[in-house]
Amino acid sequence: MRSLAAPFVVAPPAGVRIRTRLRPTIEEAAVLTLVGTFLGGLYRADLAARIRLGDVSAKNTERTSRKRELTAATTSRWAGSITRAAEDQYQLAMRALKADVTSLAQALRVLDARIAAPVGGRAGRIPGYASQRERTTKQQRRQVLTARLNAALQRLTAGRPAIVAGGRRLAKTRHQLTTAGLTTAQWRSRWDAARMFMTADGETGAPHGNYTINVTSDGTVSIALPAQLRNLANAPRGRYVLTTRIAFTHRATQWSDRVTGDQSVRYDISLDAARDRWYLDASWTTPAHAACPDVPATVVDGGRMLGIDLNADHLAAHVTDTHGNPVGAPITIPLDLSGPASQRDGRLRAAISHALHLARRHGCPAIAIENLGFVDARATGRETLGRGGRGKRFRRTIAAIPTARFRDRLAGMAHTAGIAVIAVDPAYTSRWGGKHWKPALTAKTPTATRHHAAAVVIARRAHGHKARRRPGVTRTRPEDRARETTGQAAPQAAGAREQLGLFETARTTLVDKTCPAPTRPRHSRASKTAREAPDPGRNQHGQFWPTR
């Protein structure tokens, strides 16, 4: 059994992003398309130049020279946004490439260990493959993974990751238009829309927080056109003003405060070619919040905790008190993740909103979740989690669980609601929950599952308790039913009443009232008086002896 990591408070998101819809006219949409296509070409050229440089420091003279060249074709602000976006995209691709190398190396280690084991036998705790045919197939797969690993290592060493502007998935769809149900014109419109670039970084002190894409407090949108497209301007100083005003509904007050105070706001204009809709995104940074390595005592001692176990089709939750005892009945929140991506995200938000509502209703200042990543399961699930279809089904289930999106959505929404999120080590939660807590939960609620028991273990781990129930306190004594019992002990203590110093006093008082003091048995002795002398004709019960 490996050692468990300490729980920690999940840091809230460092930024805010909101979206509203743009409703340009046909002429305005044509101008936006021209601007996005022109800037998109400059962005792709700068990204290619950045990849050719390799893995160099972000603060280098090459970026300054690239920005100077772009300024001649656009403006200095557009050039700064393009070079910054190219640098961010490059760093993201490098992190993904490093993660790919780590995953491939881990998969190869598992393959090598199983291939070295005898067929149908074991090499220590490592099982071999069931047949020689399966072992040969795995050897072929090992060659494929080795080739992929070598190619990834070469790209990583050279500092040149593979980046597809517009998306690799959409690029591959071009060769499968019939399967995707698209025509060539439809695919081309989506491809061109994905390769547009209309992103303007904010600037504190600039009018309304952004000079390039300027949005006033009343919703008027104006864009500073590049130098080569100044002939399209309909406003002074080479600007293009949209006739239709916009309005934000989510976090509108925060956005208005920033715009009124000339604080920096970044804007992104994008086109959804499938629905023929234009969108405007506004984003800004929030005050930095350092992640706390340990759970604050105020959160742990505050009272109850809502433990949540994330599953493929539902959220299993249970409320525990400060001593780690389950309170109330188990809770199941449905989570349907089928259908389009937009619907899946909405259903995930609805499930999180339900969980936050339950936390407020039960008086829980914090929510406990597992620090899930499923890195090992995704990398080695083919070899360690079942043979044949069983492993494939497990990998498909793991891939369907939105662990990262759930964590990010919950952290942001809980921070807005004023509820802390505590992440705990996910090791053995389901196993220990099913062993130590499922029988107790099913005794009261027959529909309780192992996932609800795992939620109890998660909440107890966030409080600092162990998963195992303390022996000897499963049944409640009749004399203790009138008052709160310990059930479980607080960390590093024998019991809650021992902590308060009331255990001995309460027990002594209760025993004196309910049970008389025991008396010592009297030994028989010879009588010294005539009245106490036993009657020779009677027995010890006062009855006459039978006579013959």
Q: What is the rounded CA–CA span in Å between residue 266 and residue 19?
A: 12
pLDDT of 505 above 50: no
- Mean pLDDT, range 380-386, rounded to an integer: 50
State CA 143 to chain mean position distance.
Answer: 35
**How many C-beta atoms surround the C-beta of residue 479 within 10 A?**
14
Torsion of CA 230, 255, 80, 78, to 10 degrees: -10
Closest C-alpha among 299, 295, 452 to residue 364: 299
- pLDDT of residue 52 exceeding 60, the answer is yes
Are the beta carbons of 96 and 249 closer than 8 angstroms?
Answer: no
Describe the strand order of the beta sheet including 213-215 as a list of residue ranges: 213-215, 221-224, 239-241
Q: State the pTM of this model.
A: 0.73
Q: What's the mean pLDDT in 114-140? A: 91
DSSP state of 211: S
Looking at residues 294-307, what average pLDDT do you find? 64
Q: What is the pLDDT of residues 397-413, one digit of tens each?
A: 555 566 777 878 888 88
The answer to which of 148-162, 164-178, 296-310 has the lowest mean pLDDT is: 296-310
What is the pLDDT at residue 336?
Answer: 83
Helices (H), 184-329: 184-194, 252-260, 297-300
428: left (phi over 0), alpha (psi -120 to 50) or beta: left
Query: How, if at all, do strands 420-424 and 366-370 pair?
Result: parallel
Rounded Cα distance between 446 and 456, Å, is 16
Q: Which residues contact 246 (CB under 8 A, 6 or more apart)?
A: 20, 21, 22, 215, 219, 221, 280
Is 104 a residue whose pLDDT tops 90? yes
Domains annotated for the chain, with CATH where assigned, are: 8-285 (no CATH), 297-469 (3.30.420.40), 479-514 (no CATH)
Reported as a single tens digit per residue, the pLDDT across 54-90 is 888 655 678 888 999 999 889 999 999 999 999 999 9
Tokens describing residue 534: 């036993």
Task: Please give the sequence-ordered ranges of beta strands (E in DSSP) within 213-313, or none if there are none.
Answer: 213-215, 221-224, 239-241, 266-272, 277-285, 305-310
Cα-trace Rg, the chain: 35
Tokens read off for 320: 């525990």
For residue 532, pLDDT over 90 is answered with no
CA angle 72, 73, 77 (to 5 degrees): 80
pLDDT of residue 527: 47
Dist CA 296 CA 8 (whole Å):
9
Tell me which of 285-294, 356-365, 381-390 is least confident: 381-390
- Please report the pLDDT score of residue 86 as a whole number: 94
Residues 259-270 pLDDT 10s: 999 999 999 999
Q: What is the DSSP string of 24-38?
A: --HHHHHHHHHHHHH
- Residue owning tokens 């200042």: 365
pLDDT-wise least confident of 121-125, 186-190, 419-423, 530-534: 530-534
**533: part of which helix (H) or strand (E)?**
none
Q: How many CB atoms neighbour CB 45 within 10 A?
A: 16
Sheet bearing 199-200, strands edge to edge: 15-22, 277-285, 266-272, 199-200
pLDDT of residue 13: 83
Q: Is the pLDDT of residue 149 over 90?
A: yes
- Determine the pLDDT at residue 398: 55
